Amino acid sequence: MPYEVLFRCDGSPSVGLGHVLRCRSLAEAMARRGARVRFVIGAGSELALALLSPFFPVHRLAGSEDLTRSGLGDGDLAATLEIARKNGAGMVVVDHYGATAAYLESLAQAGVELGVIDDLADRDLSAAGWVLNQNLGADDLPYRVRQDCRRLFGPSYALLRPGFASARGALAREFRETDSRVLVALGGGDATRSLAAVLDGLERVERRLAITCLATAAVRREEVDRRAAASRHRVELAIDVEDVTELMARTDLSVNGGGSVCWELACLGVPMIVLVRAANQVNIAGALERAGCARNLGPWNDAESPSLLAGWVDELLSDSRARAEMSRRAATLVDGRGADRAAEEILMRRTQR
């Protein structure tokens, strides 16, 4: 009988879809190994439903509250436990900042194995049998876990879609000092303000650029279109692109947020300038810079960031050797097989118990 795994995550245009996409990648890898997978999502996760339902059964919790922005309460816990019980789930995987230590402990006490996908190390995770943090520097965070907890830490466990491994294998990247293709990928949520600021900063770059902006449907398109029309560069907007590997494979330099997109770019050897858009991205941006595969712009500062960004873009596009070295270092961090690696270890651990 197939082993049943239940995922609890949320995502929406307002908060982004990183949690949903990385859970889907792990779920697909588990399914390839014979597990039967289903998802539980909260209200406000319509886009998550569209991303998941073609592949897995999805249970959407009742209620009008947008759970993508809030803590998970007793009603959510009871509903998730009931879905797990009815479907005979042996494991529940939680990827949600709103899942408190008490919520997680209640899941574990119900008799299921608990796995947690996390970035923050900001709560007691001693209820978890395994914890996955795909970020560089995860080993240095003060995780509160039990002694027998399996720690799946670092970019070798980056939960990328299968297309990245195949795109990486087919990639023959070359850097030239005439390069001009810049990708702007600031992550999920309404990134309009950050995107506008970055585009304004790129107006200071001397060479004419071909800029592609990756964004979700939450972005205010008219604002971006207005800047694109007035720009001296060629600017195009790509909304809710499902397969971003082709865009990333043909870019010469990326200006991006410090979330999961970093590991996608690293897998394809894209040199990065990282803009910190949230507190949980500070460590990632710093670690990538120390590893030699990114420049860390930090949080945006209207007084200094535009000129710093433009200077770095000019400098890096003019220095093909520097970008080639950044690319090489980035590609050593992520091989695109992290989801398979994680699924193998998680399911193997279950059979050895």
Q: Provide the whole-model pTM.
A: 0.94
Q: Are residues 139 and 153 in the same domain?
A: yes
**Confidence at residue 181, expressed as pLDDT on a 0 to 100 scale:** 99
Same-domain check for residues 178 and 60: no
Distance CA 325, CA 243 (A): 26
Residue type, 3: Y
Question: Same structural domain for residues 8 and 49?
Answer: yes
* C-beta of residue 164 within 8 angstroms of C-beta of residue 264: yes
Statement to judge: residues 176 and 212 lie in one domain: yes
Q: Do residues 144 and 214 both lie within one domain?
A: no
Looking at the structure, tell me whether residues 345 and 323 fall in a common domain. no
Q: What pLDDT score does 62 carry?
A: 84
136 touches 288 (CB < 8 A): yes
Instruction: Identify the CATH number of the domain in which residue 143 sits.
Output: 3.40.50.11190
Rg (CA), the chain: 20
What local confidence, expressed as pLDDT, does residue 66 receive? Answer: 56
Question: What pLDDT score was predicted for residue 191?
Answer: 84
Are residues 292 and 176 both part of a single domain? yes
Q: Can you give the CATH number for the domain in which 219 is found?
A: 3.40.50.2000
Q: Please indicate, yes or no, whether residues 25 and 151 belong to a single structural domain of this protein.
A: yes
End-to-end Cα distance, the chain = 18
Domain that holds residue 183: 163-333
Do residue 117 and residue 243 come from a single domain?
no
In degrees, rounded to 5, the angle at the alpha carbon of residue 323 between the alpha carbons of residues 321 and 328 is: 95
Whether residue 126 is found in the same domain as residue 182: no
Give the chain's residues under pLDDT 50.
none
Backbone angles phi, psi at 6, to 5 degrees: -115, 125
What total of structural domains would you count in the chain?
2
246 and 319 co-located in one domain: yes
Same-domain check for residues 265 and 306: yes
**The dihedral sign for the CA sequence 159, 165, 166, 171:** positive
Residue of 162, 159, 185, 197 whose CA lies nearest to 239: 185
Q: Are 215 and 235 in contact (CB under 8 A)?
A: no
Sign of the CA dihedral running 137, 259, 311, 315:
positive
pLDDT for 14? 67
CB 80 within 8 A of CB 106: no
Which residue type is seen at 50?
A
